Amino acid sequence: MQLLTSNLLLFASIASSTAGHRQRKHIGIRGVPSTNSVPSRAPVTTFHPTRPAYNDESSSFPTNSPTYNVMPTATPTSDSYIYSNFPTSTPTAFSDSENAKCSGQHLKLDINTDFYACETSWTLERIHTGGTRETVKEGSGYLDEFVYDDVAKLCLEAGEYEFNIYDTFGDGVSTPGYYFLTLDGTLLAGSSDFGFQETTQFTVVDDVDSSTRDSSTNWVQLINEDFVNGFGSFNSGGSNIKYYAGVKDRVGVVRIQDGDGMDSSVNSNHIFVGTSTTFKVVFSYYAYSMESTDGFCLDYSTDDGTSWHSEKCWLKLNDFENGSWYDDTEVTFTPSALNETDGLRVRLRCNASSIYDDVLVDSVTVYGNS
């Protein structure tokens, strides 16, 4: 009897221990298991404690999340992607008499949807003189995780247009999803993590023979960052970088200082270059407390940031004075080797001698030309 009682007590103890270690799986807002992790954000570096602040600065970081244009580098192959609604045939692309002669330019839209394709939609509008708008085409209702080549292929007449792509959840077309918008084969826009919305305005011209077209007018905007919503398409290189919501009569400003290489630079996300081989960077800057041998440089990388080429540097001695904004500063370059998979990155790097030597950057636009 005593042995039976001991066995019963031992069984009860094991059962109690097992129940105590049973865990409940939490379900996320979309019905998938949640890791309870907080999404990472762009790093916000702290201000050097000994450096005097600008008398008009505001360093409060915006409350809305910045938009990052990060391009995919490969087609997904992971088994973690579930093709629940995989179609049995290739979807038919929209077309405006594709085989007819186009007197304007051809617009093409490709979308690789994510697992929540029901959140994705887009519109194309023509903007007439006086500001009135006409919807040219719109799309929605796509299948999950499917590559839609030529989801729209349109012949557009000469005029001004605006393309908008939306995501109702606010996480864009999550990577490895993406979208590409091209005009006559030249990239107009393309990204994945664009948040709730991304807008692209462009101009269509009358049909021109490409053999006689002036290449100086063929610049296509690849990225345009005004830093109003934070670092946006750029990244802080380290502790010598600071974001200002407003300073020196500008809204959205990034400060680079000192001369510590990457630690004193801001560098762009991956830029999808399409068919572009020559590039132009246009930016605005303001120098503060620079000495004659202090300056800054524009660098670019064609191997996704593994190595950098210094394209041009500016010295206070010859190129600028402290205390003034220099708008529309322009640099054009043609890389000797360009890896289409890795694309292009650009960076602005301070090349000075102390933490009191600053360059403020207000905007950066990168164009491509093929």
Q: How far is CA 110 from CA 87, 139, 169, 171, 189, in A?
A: 17, 12, 21, 18, 11
CA atoms within 13 A on the CB side of 172: 23
138-179 residue pLDDT tens: 999 999 999 888 788 999 998 999 999 999 999 988 877 889
CB 339 within 8 A of CB 303: yes
**CATH 2.60.40 fits domain 94-213:** yes
Tell me whether the omega of the peptide bond preceding residue 76 falls within 30 degrees of 0, making it cis: no
Tell me the pairing of strands 105-112 and 147-156. antiparallel
Retrieve residue 336's tokens. 């000797």
CB 105 within 8 A of CB 118: no
Q: 322, 314, 255, 253: which is closest to 287 by C-alpha?
A: 322
Q: How far is CA 106 from CA 110, 183, 186, 206, in A?
A: 13, 6, 10, 11
Distance CA 350, CA 361 (A): 11
Residues in the chain, total: 370
pLDDT one digit per residue (tens) for the chain, 370 residues: 555 455 555 455 544 544 444 343 333 444 444 444 444 444 444 444 445 556 665 544 444 444 433 333 333 333 322 223 333 333 333 344 443 467 788 899 999 899 999 999 999 999 998 889 999 999 999 999 998 887 889 999 989 999 999 999 999 888 778 898 988 877 888 888 788 999 999 988 876 544 434 445 578 888 899 999 899 999 999 999 999 999 999 999 999 999 999 999 999 998 888 778 899 999 999 999 999 999 999 999 998 888 999 999 999 999 999 999 999 999 999 998 786 666 799 999 999 999 999 999 999 999 988 7
Superfamily name with CATH number, domain 234-369? Galactose-binding domain-like (2.60.120.260)
* H-helix or E-strand spanning residue 14: helix 2-20
CB 73 within 8 A of CB 342: yes
Q: How many CB atoms lie within 10 A of CB 93?
A: 15
Cα angle, residue 140 at apex, residues 274 and 75 outer, rounded to 5°: 40
Environment class of residue 318 by beta-carbon count within 10 Å: exposed (0-12), middle (13-18) or buried (19+)? exposed
Q: Domain limits of the chain?
A: 94-213, 234-369
Distance CA 255, CA 359 (A): 6
CB 315 within 8 A of CB 359: no
Q: How many CB atoms lie within 10 A of CB 174?
A: 16
